[in-house]
Amino acid sequence: MTVCLQYPVLEATDVSTLKRWLEGLSRDNFFYEHNNGRWGLRKVQPLSHRYINPHDSWFPVSFDYDGHVITESITEPFACYPENETLKKTVSIALSVMARHGNWQSQTCQMAMSIMQHHSLKIEETTKAIPWHRDASDDTLVILLDDQSQWAGGDFLFQEAEAPVKRLQPKCGYGIFFSNEGTRHSVEPLTVNTEGMNRTILSLHQKSRT
């Protein structure tokens, strides 16, 4: 059954801790995504992937019978950054919530993650829309890490086949969990009302499970 649900994932303290970690990184560690006008945190492939298949972005994550993370390699591409235990802790929380909603207890999933950010936008600046597309994964969880009151717009749109479009407004600390099977999604433009605003998204993708 296709799903598209929004629910709380991270506590305010978890969001603040991760944001402080990101703000402590040099901007040289981010790349610019021209199509969507966003910045992404760079990944460095670990040796396990770099020489065997350097384009493979999927890493195993194992969950116990309650959906808690036993082991994960999804954060290894970010292991080069200082104090990356902050990232590992926050991502483990999000993975466990995702596993419970996906019913992945006692399973190992092949997963990927990214952090994308509209950075230091000016008052009344309007972002580009992220056009309709489908992620290259079975399921996706996108988590907003900034206060949504700093902008207007930016709604998440989801559609299954020819069904009516479902509209969700992302909320700080909340995740939108959705299936990519027979669906598509997009994000509407947003207009900034706070000088120097950031809009940061943590995305988790699940490709397969055993």
CATH number for the domain spanning 134: value is: 2.60.120.620
Residue 26: alpha-carbon gap to chain centroid: 20
Place of tokens 């082991």: 71
**Helix, strand, or coil here: 141?**
strand
- Summarize pLDDT for 139-198 with one digit per residue, the tens: 999 999 999 999 999 999 999 998 999 999 999 999 999 999 999 999 999 999 999 999
Q: What total number of domains does the chain contain? A: 1
Q: Which residue ranges of the chain lie beneath pLDDT 70?
A: 1-2, 49-56
**Helix, strand, or coil here: 76?**
helix
**pLDDT recorded at residue 128:** 95
Element of type H or E holding 188: none
Buried b (16+ CB within 10 A) or exposed e, 189-203: ebebeeeebbbbbbb
**pLDDT recorded at residue 45:** 84
This prediction has a pTM of: 0.94
**pLDDT recorded at residue 164:** 96
**Domain containing residue 9:** 4-209
